[in-house]
Structure 1
Amino acid sequence: MDILNSMSDLQLSLIIIGAIVVAGVAIFNWLQQQRYRRKIQAAFDYDHNDILLDPKHSDDIPQRVEPKLNKPEFSESSPDAFQADDTYIPHQENKKVFVPPSSHPNSSINLSAHASSASPLLDYDNITNYIVNIRSESIIPNTHIAKLLQRKFDFNKPVCWLGQRQKNEPWEEITTESNVDSDGYVLLKGCLQLADRAGPISEVNLSKFRDLVQDFASQAHAIAECPDIVSTHDKAVLLDKFCADVDVMIGINIISKDDGAFVGTKIRALAEASGFRLESDGIFKYRDENNHVLFTLSNYESSHFLPENMKSLTTHGVTFLLDVPRVAHGERVFDQMTHLAKIFSNTLGGILVDDNRVPLSESGIQKSKQQLIEIQTAMKKNHIQAGSQSALRLFV
């Protein structure tokens, strides 16, 4: 009361006016966000099928149509014959390709009829992995196997160990936890990945892994089967060349008109109403029911979309991106991404453009879709299905 008594009428009036202004701004922002959400919801009120779940869509890849892209031809006959030019280019630099302007049988580890779908972690093959076998007539104790698990990170590429507790039992991935709970295994498979976006595995690391396996087998009184190192390294280099050719991201930009700007609150409301979620890396991600990322929404400018900054953020554009080798049924996902991009463009009052800020036509969008189809077809012919567990491991 003493404080209030010591204040003049002017000071009290200023405090009250300030409080009213702050409350008014908060109420205005809330009303604006609700208005955006109603407009966005109205854009989605019409009935449209989920193109990823619609059973009428066939799993067949559409036939190739002109124009042909200026990309190397891929082998259809053998997974060991990845076609590429003679210049070795590691696929450590992920290619970002925006929508253009308008102008040997697979020898997987067969665990059971439905093993791959039930346990994707067991879906390892000798196309993308150096696979060794360790066989023993008696159980190899888990204390021995723990020594192998301790070396999983010594080869600059991911390693997975699979095991059978008895010869007729199913394969399982061996982790530190599962190994402690087991009595040991009689059969082991070590799967060392041959390449990723950092490039192919080195011949030195292949040799180190083989030597580890052979020394382990000798100490465990088991038999080790290790493929040839030189030919495996050659295969790793060819695999990496192939991955570099298909490592493409296709995107669509939406920029503002007449040097205007998009408001962060409106972008967030629109994104969340569309099914995106803003994640810790500052990018909105659209995920499927299995939590796999289908495509992303990022800031066209250099700054990220951070939750604490969205209310004050303005930007001249946003970018939709689809990582082609990491997405199954890419042509359907591309259609869904394009559909959402058009809704964003209409709602935000922006323009669909390519990476050179040239307005996009339907023919330009279809060219990008055709490029995506050709890439995923090439992957399928070489026994690396886009969006599969193998692809997710390779393109990381």
Structure 2
Amino acid sequence: MDILSNMSDLQLSLIVIGIIVIVGVVVFNWLQQQRYRRKVQAAFDHEHNDILLDTHDSEEIAPRIEPKFNKSPISNGQPDLLMQTDSSASHSEAKKMSITQNPSINIPTHTSISSSTTSPVLDYDNNTNYIVHIRSESVISNTYVAKLLQRKFDFGKSVYWLGQRHRDEPWEEITNEANADGDGYIHLKGCLQLADRAGPISEVNLSKFRDLVQDFASQVHAAAECPDIVSTHDKALMLDKFCAEVDVMIGINIISKDDGAFVGTKIRALAEASGFRLESDGVFKFRDDNHHLLFTLSNYESSPFLPENIKSLTTHGVTFLLDVPRVSHGERVFDQMAHLAKIFSNTLGGIMVDDNRVPLSDSGIQRSKQQLIEIQTAMKNNHINAGSPSALRLFV
């Protein structure tokens, strides 16, 4: 009370006015957000086919396009790329392929694409992994197995261990928890990944892993089976080269007209009504019912959409992005992304453009969808289904 009594009428008036202004801004933002939500709901009121479930057109045959991919054509008549022994380049960064009017990446297509239904435990194959076996006549104690698990991060690439506790029992992935729950295993399978977005595994690390396996087998009086290092390294180089060719992201940009700006609260309301969720990295992410990431919505400018500043944020554009090798049924997911991009463009009053800010036409969007199908078909033909556990491990 002493503080209030010492204030002049002018100071008290300014404090009251300040409080009224703050309350007014909060109420105004709330009313704006509710208004945007009503507009978004109206945009979704008419019925749309569920493109992830509608399969009536998934078997449509796409026209053949002669390959010209990085001057190293991929052809259906070509021998299996993963079995060749040529040099490769690292695919340390995914290429972003914005939708353009004149696409330049063309791979021969197949009639349809199916996602992998393989169990994740059985998805470790020798196309993408260096696989070793340790077989014992007696149970290998879990205390010994624990020592193997401690070395999982020593070889520059991911290592997974699978095990059988008894003959004719199913394989299981060996984690610290699974290992502690049992008495041990009689058959171990080690899977060392041959490549990822950082590049292929080195011949030195392959040798280190083989030596570890052989030494371990000797200690537990078991037999070790280890493939040849030189040929495996050649395979890793070819795998990395192939992955670099298909490692593509497709983006759709929506920019404001006449150098205007989009308001952060409006973008958030529209995104959440469309099924996106804002995550801690400042990117809106669209996931399926199994929490698999399908595509993202990010700021066209450098600032992320952080919860603490999105109410005051304005931007000149947003970007939809689809990571082609990490999404199964990519053509359907692309249709869904393009459909939402059109809704955003109409509701925000923006323009859909490519990375050169050239307006997109429907034919340009369809050609880019065709590119996506061709890329995912090339992956399937080389025993890597887009969006499968194997692909998710390779493209990380």
Deviation at 1:78?
A: 8.1
SS at match of 1:309: coil
Query: Letter of the aligned partner of 2:311 in structure 1?
Result: K
Deviation at 1:67?
A: 5.4
Q: How does 1:350-361 map to 2 (within 5 A)?
A: 350-361=350-361
Partner of 2:62: 64
Query: Letter of the aligned partner of 1:63 in structure 2?
Result: I
Partner of 1:164: 164
Partner of 1:237: 237
Gaps of 5+ in 2: 104-115
Tell me the TM-score normalised to structure 2 length: 0.92
**Separation in structure 1 between the aligned mates of residue 96 and residue 385 of structure 2, nearest angstrom:** 20
SS at match of 1:40: helix
Could you tell me whether the CA contact under 8 Å between 1:76 and 1:382 is conserved in 2? no
Query: Letter of the aligned partner of 2:257 in structure 1?
Result: K
Deviation at 1:55?
A: 4.8
**Separation in structure 2 between the aligned mates of residue 370 and residue 85 of structure 1, nearest angstrom:** 30
Could you tell me whether the CA contact under 8 Å between 1:296 and 1:322 is conserved in 2? yes
Deviation at 1:168?
A: 1.1
Change (3 A) 1:119 1:14: same
Partner of 1:250: 250
Could you tell me whether the CA contact under 8 Å between 2:376 and 2:385 is conserved in 1? yes
Deviation at 1:121?
A: 3.7
Change (3 A) 1:95 1:27: same
Query: Letter of the aligned partner of 1:297 in structure 2?
Result: L
* Cα-to-partner distance string for 1:142-174 (whole Å, 9 max, x where unaligned): 111111111100100000000000011110011
1:212 aligns with 2:212: yes
Partner of 1:111: none
**Separation in structure 2 between the aligned mates of residue 84 and residue 278 of structure 1, nearest angstrom:** 43
Query: Letter of the aligned partner of 2:61 in structure 1?
Result: Q
**Separation in structure 2 between the aligned mates of residue 121 and residue 292 of structure 1, nearest angstrom:** 18
SS at match of 2:47: coil
Tell me the TM-score normalised to structure 1 length: 0.92
What is the CA RMSD across the aligned residues, in angstroms?
2.1
SS at match of 1:296: strand
**Separation in structure 2 between the aligned mates of residue 131 and residue 226 of structure 1, nearest angstrom:** 7
Deviation at 1:18?
A: 2.0
Deviation at 1:76?
A: 4.0
**Separation in structure 2 between the aligned mates of residue 18 and residue 130 of structure 1, nearest angstrom:** 67
**Separation in structure 1 between the aligned mates of residue 225 and residue 234 of structure 2, nearest angstrom:** 19
Identity %: 76
Partner of 2:266: 266
**Separation in structure 1 between the aligned mates of residue 147 and residue 84 of structure 2, nearest angstrom:** 39
Deviation at 1:184?
A: 0.6
* Cα-to-partner distance string for 1:303-327 (whole Å, 9 max, x where unaligned): 1111111011111110000000000
Partner of 2:8: 8
**Separation in structure 1 between the aligned mates of residue 221 and residue 342 of structure 2, nearest angstrom:** 64
* Cα-to-partner distance string for 1:159-200 (whole Å, 9 max, x where unaligned): 000000001111001111111111010011000001000111
Change (3 A) 1:309 1:345: same
Deviation at 1:57?
A: 5.0
1:367 aligns with 2:367: yes
Deviation at 1:15?
A: 2.4
Q: How does 1:118-197 map to 2 (within 5 A)?
A: 119-197=119-197
**Separation in structure 1 between the aligned mates of residue 86 and residue 55 of structure 2, nearest angstrom:** 43
Aligned length: 382
Gaps of 5+ in 1: 104-115
Could you tell me whether the CA contact under 8 Å between 1:99 and 1:368 is conserved in 2? yes
Query: Letter of the aligned partner of 2:271 in structure 1?
Result: A
Partner of 1:112: none
Could you tell me whether the CA contact under 8 Å between 1:134 and 1:222 is conserved in 2? yes
Q: How does 1:35-54 map to 2 (within 5 A)?
A: 35-54=35-54
Query: Letter of the aligned partner of 1:381 in structure 2?
Result: N
Could you tell me whether the CA contact under 8 Å between 2:91 and 2:247 is conserved in 1? yes
Partner of 2:318: 318
**Separation in structure 2 between the aligned mates of residue 83 and residue 213 of structure 1, nearest angstrom:** 24
Deviation at 1:47?
A: 1.2
